Structure 1
Amino acid sequence: MRHKLIHEADGQKTFAIILDAGDEAMGCLKAFARDNRLTAASFKAIGAFERAELSFFDWSKKTYEPIPVDEQVEVASLTGDIAVEPGGEPGVHVHAVLGRRDGGAVAGHLNKGVVRPTLEIILTEQPAHLKKRRDHETGLMLIALED
């Protein structure tokens, strides 16, 4: 993983983060968030994975169901946010749309994605802090706007 600060103004920072073949996207994003002490950020990315695992949140069961993707795919869209979870660690939440060779797509919550050949991420850190709290109805960690 390589990264560079490409813009900074009024407390807002924008980074270009480049992942190379073999890097695991979620692990790299979590490490970047932790190492840079991110408390509120959003990001988008394009690139490709040699394999990935997505998941779908089953509302009735309140659990994520895995969606294995065991093929080379284009990352047509990857978007997410970072906010502080209880305990102070940054929580990284990512959704992805992955394009298959035949033009079909698969989408969901990104659990892991092994990059090949690259993943180009543009991440913007906000000067404000966002916190996540466990939602009692869903059991999910959601951004809480109130203190």
Structure 2
Amino acid sequence: MDYRKFGETYYIRLDRGDEIIGSLLDVCEKEKIQSATFSGIGGCSSAEIQTFIPESGQFEVRNLKGMLELVSLIGNVVSDESGTLHHHTHAAFAYKENGEHHMDAGHIKSVEVLYTAEIELRPVAGGIIKRKSDPETGTGFWDF
């Protein structure tokens, strides 16, 4: 991984074997970023995708492997009351399976880079967005 800050924005290049979510959180910790938004593209080798099922209060998990074209990555990072960073990330992937083209998308738990990923990280300017837990869903939401 390598990154640079230009203006108020961080540009992050991830390399083969890097895990995207952990790397983003590492940059935020190192740079003392408490809340930010991000977007990116790239070529990945595996992804753990989740879909929240409200009726059960659980996430349904799908694992993708192979050449995954990361066509869209978007999300945010916020901190809770203890200062722990949390991400909320969605992504869409294009890939071939059995000679046919497919797409899959959803909430992302982890993604491993195959060739590269290019991510723009934009810290929140002029304030901090915190994370508030929602006991009804077991998830967290923005807290201003």
How high is the TM-score relative to the length of structure 1? 0.90
Q: 1:88 aligns with which of 61, 83, 88?
A: 83
Q: Distance in 1 between matches of 2:27 and 2:60?
A: 27
Cα shift at 1:133: 0.9
Answer whether contact 1:37 1:90 (CA < 8 A) is retained.
Answer: no
> Map of 1:5-16 to 2, 5 A cutoff?
5-7=5-7, 13-16=8-11
Note the alpha carbon deviations across 1:42-93, whole angstroms, 9 max, x for none: 0100001111111111111111121100221100100000111231112111
- In structure 1, the gaps of 5 or more residues are 8-12
In the alignment, which residue of structure 2 is the partner of 1:122? Answer: 120
Which stretch has the larger CA shift, 82-91 or 67-76?
82-91
Q: Which has the higher strand share?
A: 2
In the alignment, which residue of structure 2 is the partner of 1:10? Answer: none
Q: Distance in 2 between matches of 1:113 and 1:91?
A: 16
Q: 1:64 aligns with which of 40, 59, 80?
A: 59
How high is the TM-score relative to the length of structure 2? 0.92
Note the alpha carbon deviations across 1:105-127, whole angstroms, 9 max, x for none: 10011111110100000111122
Runs of 4+ in 1 over 2 A off after TM superposition: none
Q: Distance in 2 between matches of 1:48 and 1:108?
A: 17
- In structure 2, the gaps of 5 or more residues are none
Determine helix, strand or coil for the equivalent of 1:60.
coil
Size of the aligned set, in residue pairs, is 140
Q: Distance in 2 between matches of 1:126 and 1:114?
A: 26
